[in-house]
């Protein structure tokens, strides 16, 4: 007996509406049956079996944008957002989990109503009773932090027990709802903060290690230094993420200068640029829940209100995958000699800047995203690649991951949304004219055969 199950699920892959038809019945029947129960949403993702002009028109009347590939026999190609369509795997995962119930997978029930009831029962137990039970664990005081720690343990166990992945899906969804951006509180952390909080800033710093209390004081105490952090009301003493900011009268090209012990502090009213030089996530249990994009934007807005003369909001960011990417291209005809020079430390500053710019603009994954994770983060937030610097980070880590190269990402508050949309929908990398020119420039070092 062949049966076809039609379903609507939410953006987290939880079933909202179900309908059963015979296997030979057109998908259009299921579409008509479920159309009236569609919630108010912006997008509807469906496979090409639901491609019909009347269905697209009905969705348009409801204010819903269709993301449905066209049938192969269509004479006119139907355009759809391929990036959004990738998220349709969530409903496939939902079907897979329902089929874990043998009664659903084999259809023991001959009566369609009884079979649909069995599916609904499985959906409730799998997706809703577990979430409700887990949600109640959050009610006692201090339980939120314990649950975040529990997920940290779960992530650790998943390395050797991948079957726990399904439990993590529900766990992460619940944490994402609890740590909704609307609940987050932005606070400035300074040298007068409680010692317990300062200890956590030292422990959680992930980009530029804080050596001692004197180093911490240089980052928090001077008038041209700021530190902003997100907190959650249920975890008031635990920062979720923090960003360190240097106020400057220019856009710096070296983190060594920013963190120099002998530098002269700048009066805040003399600053023209706010430099976000370090951003660190604090809770491993919240992995996959992004706060950084909102933190930078809110910190920039707060600084612009405090210091309206600021004209530039930039980062001074590492390029963590540059050398590993180059190590895979030692035999490349065009850049192999530069890769070799970079890795053995003999590359000139000009060549370091040129290859770093080319890497940031051209090195892509199969999905079209940049290879570099920091680039993906900032470009996804709406920033643009503003400038690239050689000999910018002399620390052992900086030398190992990018031969000391660093990059400025510019947050132009007037262009952030436009840049974000271009990157999200079309994978457009926003970059300054100088960076694009740098990526196309000739290398100073020539291949050994040509040099001889």
Which sign, positive or negative, has the C-alpha torsion 134, 136, 138, 140? negative
* Residue 142 to residue 161: CA distance in whole angstroms: 28
Contact 41, 28 (CB under 8 A): no
Contact 184, 230 (CB under 8 A): yes
Residue 237 CA, distance from chain mean position? 25
Query: 56: how many CB neighbours lie within 10 A of its CB?
Result: 18
Contact 316, 406 (CB under 8 A): yes
* Residue 419 to residue 61: CA distance in whole angstroms: 30
Contact 398, 406 (CB under 8 A): yes
Sequential DSSP letters for 253-299? S-HHHHT-TTPPP--GGG--EEEEEEEEE--GGGTT---HHHHHHHH
For the chain, what is the radius of gyration of the CA atoms?
26
* Residue 322 to residue 122: CA distance in whole angstroms: 48
Of 224, 183, 225, 219, residue with least CA distance to 198 = 219
Of 323, 328, 218, 192, residue with least CA distance to 277 = 218
* Residue 10 to residue 91: CA distance in whole angstroms: 9
* Residue 321 to residue 372: CA distance in whole angstroms: 6
Which sign, positive or negative, has the C-alpha torsion 330, 333, 335, 340? positive
Contact 332, 339 (CB under 8 A): yes
136 is written with which tokens? 């109640």
- Supply angle C-alpha 334, 337, 343, rounded to 5: 125
* Residue 126 to residue 331: CA distance in whole angstroms: 51
What beta strand segments (E) does 107-259 contain?
A: 185-188, 225-231, 241-248
* Residue 39 to residue 14: CA distance in whole angstroms: 13
Q: Annotated catalytic sites, by residue?
A: 317, 378
396, exposed or middle or buried, with CB in 10 Å at 0-12, 13-18, 19+?
exposed
């Amino acid at each position: 007996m062949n049966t076809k199950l039609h379903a609507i699920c939410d953006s987290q892959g939880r079933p909202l509406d179900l309908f059963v038809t015979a296997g030979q019945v057109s998908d259009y029947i299921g579409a008509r049956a479920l159309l009236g129960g569609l919630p108010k949403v912006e997008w509807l993702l469906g496979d090409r079996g639901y491609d019909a002009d009347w269905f697209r028109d009905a969705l348009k009347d409801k204010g819903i944008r269709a993301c449905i590939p066209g049938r192969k026999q269509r004479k006119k190609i139907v355009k759809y957002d391929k990036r959004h369509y990738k998220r349709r795997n969530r409903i496939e995962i939902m079907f897979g989990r329902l089929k874990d119930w043998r009664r659903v997978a084999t259809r023991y029930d001959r009566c369609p109503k009884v079979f649909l009831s069995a599916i609904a029962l499985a959906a409730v137990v799998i997706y809703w009773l577990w979430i409700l039970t887990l949600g109640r664990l959050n009610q006692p005081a201090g339980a939120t932090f314990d649950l975040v720690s529990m997920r940290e343990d779960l992530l650790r166990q998943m390395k050797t027990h991948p079957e726990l992945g399904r439990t993590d899906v529900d766990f992460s969804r619940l944490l994402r709802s609890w740590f909704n951006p609307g609940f987050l509180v932005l606070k400035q952390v300074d040298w007068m903060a409680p010692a317990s909080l300062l200890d956590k800033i030292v422990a959680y710093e992930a980009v530029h290690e804080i050596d001692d209390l004197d180093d911490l004081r240089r980052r928090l105490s001077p008038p041209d230094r700021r530190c902003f952090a997100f907190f959650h009301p249920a975890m008031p003493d635990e920062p979720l993420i923090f960003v360190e900011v240097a106020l400057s009268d220019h856009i710096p090209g070296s983190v060594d200068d920013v963190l120099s012990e002998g530098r002269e502090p700048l009066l805040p009213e003399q600053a023209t640029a706010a430099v976000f030089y370090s951003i660190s996530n604090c809770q491993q249990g919240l992995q996959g829940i992004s706060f950084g994009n909102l933190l930078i934007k809110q910190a920039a807005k707060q600084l612009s209100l405090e210091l309206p003369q600021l004209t530039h909001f930039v980062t001074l960011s590492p390029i963590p995958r540059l050398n590993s990417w180059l190590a895979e291209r030692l035999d490349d005809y065009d850049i192999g000699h530069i890769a070799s020079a970079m890795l053995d430390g003999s590359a000139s500053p000009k060549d370091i800047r040129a290859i770093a710019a080319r890497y940031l603009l051209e090195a892509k994954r199969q999905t079209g995203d940049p290879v570099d994770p920091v680039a993906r983060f900032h470009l996804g937030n709406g920033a643009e690649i503003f400038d690239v610097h050689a000999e910018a980070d002399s620390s052992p880590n900086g030398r190992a991951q990018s031969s000391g190269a660093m990059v400025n990402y510019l947050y132009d508050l007037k262009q952030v949304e436009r840049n974000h949309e271009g990157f999200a929908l079309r994978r457009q990398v926003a970059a300054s004219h100088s960076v694009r020119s740098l990526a196309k420039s000739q290398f100073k070092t020539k291949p050994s055969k040509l040099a001889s």
